[in-house]
Amino acid sequence: MRDKMQEELDRVGEEADVIIIDEAHHFRNTGTKGEEGEGRKSRYWRLYDLAKGKQMFLLTATPINNRLTDFQHMAELFTQHQSDHFSGGTLGIHSLPGYIRQLEKKIEAEIYGNRSDEEQVEMNSADVSLRLSADPLFDALVVQRSRSYVKESMKREGDGDVMFPEPRKPTVAEYSVRQTYGKLLDMVADAFHKRDPLFVLGIYNPYAYYKGDSEDVATALERGRLKQVVALIRTSFLKRFESSADAFRQSCWRLMMKLLAWMEVHCETEHERAKLDRWKRKHAKLLDYTPQKDMFDEDEAEDDLVPPELLEAVEKLSRKDFKVDEIIDHTLADLEQVADFLIELEKFKPSQDLKLKKLIQLLTKDPVLSKHKVLIFSEFGDTARYIAEELKKAGIEGVDQIDSGTKGDRATIIQRFAPYYNESSSAEQKGKEIRVLVSTDVLSEGLNLQDATRLINYDLHWNPVRLMQRIGRVDRRMNPQIEERIVAGHPDQKDLRGTVAYWNFLPPDDLDELLKLYGKVAHKTLRISKTLGIEGRQLLREDDDYEDLRNFSEQYEGQRSPDEDLHLEWQDLLNATPGLDEQVSAYPNGIFSGKQNLKPGTRQVFFCYARPAHDKAASEASGEDVWTAEAGDVQWYLYDVASGDIREDAPMIVGAIRSTPETPRATQMEEAKLSDIRIAVEKHIAKTFLRKVQAPVGVKPVLKAWMELN
């Protein structure tokens, strides 16, 4: 199968001129580059090799998941890491990485204030979209359209109303973490409040124990990278703890096996072996417990405490370079912490899981959720499998589960859950239709699951972008013909069609403590809050500084940008005045007019210039350095006569120049004054634009139109 896929990719490399990548955010991280001729390359670098010399279109709703470097890495697929790729044209960016770094610092300071490097925050598209809308690089590369804009634009194109479901406000499914976990919550909290919170994890951060020069650049970079790895592991444990006891238990067992494997390889002296043996004897009863067989990818030898493949995977550290004895002591402490968790988890039974009980209650008592299709999301496969198993035990019929490790045909499961929107029907499923589908985020992107109208988020959301992606599986554009077929086959769904609703599992009484723990271990500002649907738009207290439900709704639906509003206004003008496009195109350059200024006592002059850029194709054809307006862009300028200030933001300018055929023409400024103003604006363009793009002497902008505002 892998060989066949490689053959197809090779053929694309040979024959394709254009590559279109859907869900392109999967290429936001570069991964392992591999050596020349080496087979083990990340998918990023395989696409990078494939993309050389080709035109690329990258489709994604989330170009920025955590950092602006997500966007940079995607752009570098077609720039091929040529840092000055955007130095030509109208951008004049001579170092893409440098430009991204400066832009990120600026946005971070605007949103979050000044923070230390250790406290870097995660960004997402919702945070930065408005701030990036005016950035020249993003304006040149990104075509961004909100759902709100798409609806309005398609109406203007004559396609009628676009059918989308009407989303309802989310409902909170409340449960108590403290009543569910009891003593375990305090144990986790105490572990997080240590000097080295939760686990030391020295085996994942050996350069903290390095004997060599810690100031060495390569060493310092590796130390920083490994420190981040440790932080991610700690964060993952907390998120799994909130998700389900089973996910937390499986993570503890996996970590224990890896810690033991490392100890088996590195304990060499008699003293070290004795310490490890003492720990094993102390926890003999615990170690006799056999965790679930799906803990590891491969079948494990039941007679061995530590699977052989884990021992083989351990790279032995040199005692000459690293303080291995210190790592051993810290690893024993980690083992003790994990053992404490597992011993307490052994007392935990599904019957005391209030979160699970709340889910079963919803699926059996709620008038809609007890009868109709519902999609349940969890971030973790362990939780998804646990939920599905317990729902079946509770007698709920039509339950199935899917995650990244699901064997068999994933498309078949999807079709059994959403047959109508996947070219099938209930009748064709012959009684095998799925009513309750439990899934990880493998189903959160690019799939039509809108046979269902109800969705449950079983995990706490740390990032609203993920929430948007999940909701987007059922809150999607509707097909009128398919909707008719669904109602014809299921008349009881008539009132549900055209609506979507979702529930978020949230522990309000204990959330504040969880947020503090997460903030302490991850050094990040949480992007969760009233997006989770707290009544009255308050989270826990009146002074909570979290974004409210209204803001989330605007982000999800897409608050139209000023540029989108301008596009819609232009569409309205074209529809109202047939032939306007051709008429405007026929106007000569330098066309001039005037009108009364909206602000009394204010005098301004508007200019529209075509700005030239290096024409690569024309230059290659002629063998000379050719600059043309066609290769460049168009920019608006508004000159204030009193102050001499010049504005360039079109959405702010449009109100000043907007006119109708009935608007009186008014020109009062003397010709000499207008000439001086024009010279001042062209000097401004030369200083701010032509110099940046390194235009040669003699290259000038072309005046398309101007207007005095009296």
- Whether the CA torsion 453, 161, 556, 410 is positive or negative: it is positive
Q: In this predicted structure, what is the pLDDT of residue 609?
A: 96
Chain mean pLDDT for the chain: 81
Say how far apart CA 574 and CA 593 lie, in whole Å: 21
Residue 270 in any domain: the answer is yes
Say how far apart CA 22 and CA 594 lie, in whole Å: 47
Say how far apart CA 193 and CA 551 lie, in whole Å: 33
Asked if 137 and 200 sit in the same domain, the reply is no
Residue 156 in any domain: the answer is no
Say how far apart CA 426 and CA 109 lie, in whole Å: 53
CATH number at residue 513: 3.40.50.300
The answer to whether 51 and 78 have CB atoms below 8 angstroms apart is: yes
Asked if 317 and 372 sit in the same domain, the reply is no
Asked if 321 and 468 sit in the same domain, the reply is no
Q: How far is CA 93 from CA 109, 619, 699, in A?
A: 22, 20, 19
Higher-scoring residue by pLDDT: 679, 475: 679
| Domain boundary residue, one of 293, 321, 345 | 345
Kindly tell me if the per-residue pLDDT of 6 is higher than 80: no
Q: In this predicted structure, what is the pLDDT of residue 456?
A: 93
Asked if 92 and 28 sit in the same domain, the reply is yes
Residue 572 in any domain: the answer is no
Q: In this predicted structure, what is the pLDDT of residue 409?
A: 75
Q: How far is CA 371 from CA 365, 368, 385, in A?
A: 9, 6, 22
Residue 564 in any domain: the answer is no
Query: What are the φ/ψ torsions at residue 15 (nearest 5 degrees)?
Result: -110, -25
Dihedral in degrees, nearest 10, Cα atoms 561, 563, 567, 573: 110
Asked if 432 and 361 sit in the same domain, the reply is yes
Return the minimum-mean-pLDDT range out of 579-588, 614-623, 633-642. 614-623
Q: Record the tokens describing residue 601, joined without a space.
A: 């006592």
The answer to whether 341 and 230 have CB atoms below 8 angstroms apart is: no
The answer to whether 473 and 443 have CB atoms below 8 angstroms apart is: yes
Residue 368 in any domain: the answer is yes
Select from 30, 119, 118, 120 the least CA-distant residue to 70: 30
Q: Record the tokens describing residue 417, joined without a space.
A: 């859950």
Q: How far is CA 142 from CA 138, 406, 507, 540, in A?
A: 5, 35, 39, 38
Q: In this predicted structure, what is the pLDDT of residue 132?
A: 75
Where is 605: in which H helix or E strand?
A: strand 604-614
> Angle at CA 353, nearest 5°, toward 289 and 367?
140
Task: Give residue for tokens 């939920």.
Answer: 387
Kindly tell me if the per-residue pLDDT of 292 is higher than 50: no
- Which residues constitute the domain of residue 620? 587-709
Higher-scoring residue by pLDDT: 380, 107: 380
Q: In this predicted structure, what is the pLDDT of residue 10?
A: 81
- Whether the CA torsion 349, 354, 359, 364 is positive or negative: it is positive
Higher-scoring residue by pLDDT: 275, 204: 275
- Whether the CA torsion 440, 444, 448, 450 is positive or negative: it is positive
Say how far apart CA 199 and CA 344 lie, in whole Å: 17
Question: What mean pLDDT comes out for the span 361-386?
Answer: 93
Question: What mean pLDDT comes out for the span 600-607?
Answer: 90
Domain count, the chain: 4
Here the contacts of 529-538 (C-beta below 8 Å, separation 24 or greater) are 531/461, 531/464, 531/467, 532/170, 532/172, 532/460, 532/461, 532/504, 532/506, 533/169, 533/170, 533/171, 533/172, 533/504, 533/506, 534/172, 534/506, 534/508, 535/172
Residue 608 in any domain: the answer is yes
The set of residues, in sequence order, having a beta carbon less than 8 Å from that of 259 and lying 6+ positions away, is 203, 331, 334, 335, 338
Kindly tell me if the per-residue pLDDT of 554 is higher than 80: no
Asked if 385 and 426 sit in the same domain, the reply is yes
Q: In this predicted structure, what is the pLDDT of residue 547?
A: 44
Say how far apart CA 525 and CA 292 lie, in whole Å: 35
| Domain boundary residue, one of 289, 313, 345 | 345
Higher-scoring residue by pLDDT: 599, 455: 455
Q: Record the tokens describing residue 165, joined without a space.
A: 């479901």
Highest mean pLDDT of the ranges 469-473, 578-582, 673-677: 673-677
Say how far apart CA 166 and CA 237 lie, in whole Å: 36
The answer to whether 400 and 416 have CB atoms below 8 angstroms apart is: yes
Residue 581 in any domain: the answer is no
Q: In this predicted structure, what is the pLDDT of residue 295?
A: 45
Residue 153 in any domain: the answer is no
Task: Give residue for tokens 């554009």.
Answer: 477
Say how far apart CA 566 and CA 564 lie, in whole Å: 5
Say how far apart CA 406 and CA 509 lie, in whole Å: 35
Per-residue pLDDT tens for 89-123?
A: 888 888 999 999 988 888 777 766 655 444 455 55
Asked if 514 and 469 sit in the same domain, the reply is yes
Say how far apart CA 326 and CA 69 lie, in whole Å: 36
Asked if 333 and 234 sit in the same domain, the reply is yes
| Domain boundary residue, one of 320, 345, 370 | 345
Kindly tell me if the per-residue pLDDT of 339 is higher than 50: yes
Asked if 392 and 465 sit in the same domain, the reply is yes
- Compute the radius of gyration of the chain from its Cα atoms: 30
Say how far apart CA 705 and CA 710 lie, in whole Å: 17
Return the minimum-mean-pLDDT range out of 224-238, 253-267, 295-309, 555-569. 295-309
Q: Record the tokens describing residue 564, joined without a space.
A: 């989108």
Per-residue pLDDT tens for 51-82?
A: 888 899 999 877 877 778 888 999 999 999 99
The set of residues, in sequence order, having a beta carbon less than 8 Å from that of 195 and lying 6+ positions away, is none
Asked if 288 and 209 sit in the same domain, the reply is yes
Per-residue pLDDT tens for 163-205?
A: 777 777 777 788 888 888 888 888 888 887 666 667 888 888 8
Q: In this predicted structure, what is the pLDDT of residue 436?
A: 95
Asked if 551 and 530 sit in the same domain, the reply is yes
For the whole prediction, is pTM greater than 0.85? no
Return the minimum-mean-pLDDT range out of 24-28, 154-158, 473-477. 154-158
Asked if 316 and 410 sit in the same domain, the reply is no
